[in-house]
Structure 1
Amino acid sequence: MLQAVGDKCFTVCVTKPETSFSRSEGNCVSNCMERYIEATRIISRAVLNSQP
């Protein structure tokens, strides 16, 4: 899953791949991955709390 998230974030954040990230690209990828991880955490809690 983490690989898929990284690929998606890379596609969204890196418009012109070069040998290294620009600061804004690196920040975008980092923020994007953090949002996915937090969303997964929230969903997991909701599912676990709804179990009888």
Structure 2
Amino acid sequence: MSDFGNYGGGSMEAKKQQVMDQVRGELALANAQELVNKINEKCFARCVLKPGGKLDNSEQTCVANCMDRYMEAWNIVSRTYIGRVQREAQNMGGGGGL
């Protein structure tokens, strides 16, 4: 029988929190992987016009700058989105949020 049938209070809440923490961790990992994949895709296509065995100095500089700009934009969008979700949750009486 599953432990989820046990409504004894503390242990159920602890398990619920553990599952939520695991889901948050998996979401964070998925977001980080998506960020890395998008940076690779976008910056490589933009900066490496003639792929070869190694990047020359201008390609390295371009990739570094592209990565910085992409991460800045990603962070701004993420903060704005999280803020909006939290405000909407508060406005709907949810109180919780991300």
- Give the TM-score of the pair, scaled to structure 1: 0.82
RMSD over aligned CA atoms reads 1.2
Give, in angstroms, the shift of residue 48 of structure 1: 2.1
Aligned residues: 52
Alignment counterpart, residue 47 of structure 2, candidates 13, 17, 20? 13
Identical-pair percentage:
42
- Per the alignment, residue 61 of structure 2 pairs with 27
List runs of 5+ in structure 2 lacking aligned partners.
Answer: 1-33, 88-98
Unaligned runs of 5+ in 1: none
User: Hey, what does 2:74 align to over in structure 1?
Assistant: 40
**TM-score, normalised to structure 2's length?**
0.48
Q: CA deviation at 1:32?
A: 0.6
